[in-house]
Amino acid sequence: MAKFSGMKINPKHFHRSQIKFFIVLIPMAIFVSLPMLFIVSHAFKPMNELFAFPPRFLVRRPTLDNFRNLVSVAANTGIPFSRYVFNSVLVTSVGVFLSILVTTMAAYALSKLKFKGKKLLFEINTLALMFVPIAVTIPRYLTIARLGLIDRYLVLILPLIALPVGLFLVKQFIDQTPNEVIESAKIDGASEMQIYLRIIMPIIAPAVATVGILSFQLIWNDVVGSTLYVDDESMKTLSFYFSTLASLVGNPVAGQGMMAAASLIMFVPNIIIFIFLQNKVMNTMAHSGLK
């Protein structure tokens, strides 16, 4: 390994030269982790600690009452809590899979295939990044109603599988794949689908992980679909149920503990997925802007 003035460059194990970095990074890491610690602590606070003054950052007498009340309120509405969990898991799983499939196939076509209107389609996708979801709520609802998707699971999935930012990132990633590799595969008799599955997908694995995270967060936390497109209570998702807790309880003060527990439940899957896939996400961000 290269050395300079007796000091190793980027040592694999701890070296005293790294102390100056830890002095800066450790306090920053602690500061950034405080909101996450608060979410966890807040969910286990009993009622007297939730409204204590001055507010307490950490729970002193943790309790599971907030989670028990969360489940019991759902049972009182006639829909068991497990039904909301099932709906969210089903919609999110199918939605993430379809989002990755559509995004990667579209990115491969826009990057490596030759057809008329390719540049125009990519410009339209880039333009879509400028629109906030609320700007297309009315045309989206009219489209869904005419397709007869109201009160179906598909209505919670289809509007969210198109991910413009994911398509942009994956296309930039695929652009770096040498054309010679694809041409060699075609000479060997590989079809476009075989090239996509056996060559492109392994190469863009970090970008696929990034799309999966973005898609998971979008679908798992979505409330609009259950609010606007679903009338059947048994088909609504966990995020929708949590958003209506205050009205179900009838007392916003009494519902604070349940809201804290709900926030933790919605937060945990997101942070777990990001922790396991963060290296791939960083790799995608580092390569998506390079040629």
CATH numbers and ranges of domains, the chain: 77-287 (1.10.3720.10)
Per-residue pLDDT at 254: 66
Here the tokens at position 138 are 């009315």
User: What is the tens place of the pLDDT at every residue in 146-185?
Assistant: 988 898 999 999 988 988 888 988 888 888 888 888 888 8
Could you tell me which residue, 156 or 290, shows the higher pLDDT? 156
pTM over the 0.95 mark: no
Radius of gyration for the chain, computed over Cα atoms and rounded to the nearest angstrom: 24
User: What is the tens place of the pLDDT at every residue in 239-254?
Assistant: 998 888 767 666 666 6
Segment 33-54 shows an average pLDDT of 85
Cβ contact 214:163 at 8 Å: yes
- Under 8 Å CB-to-CB from 265, ≥6 apart: which residues? 70, 238, 242
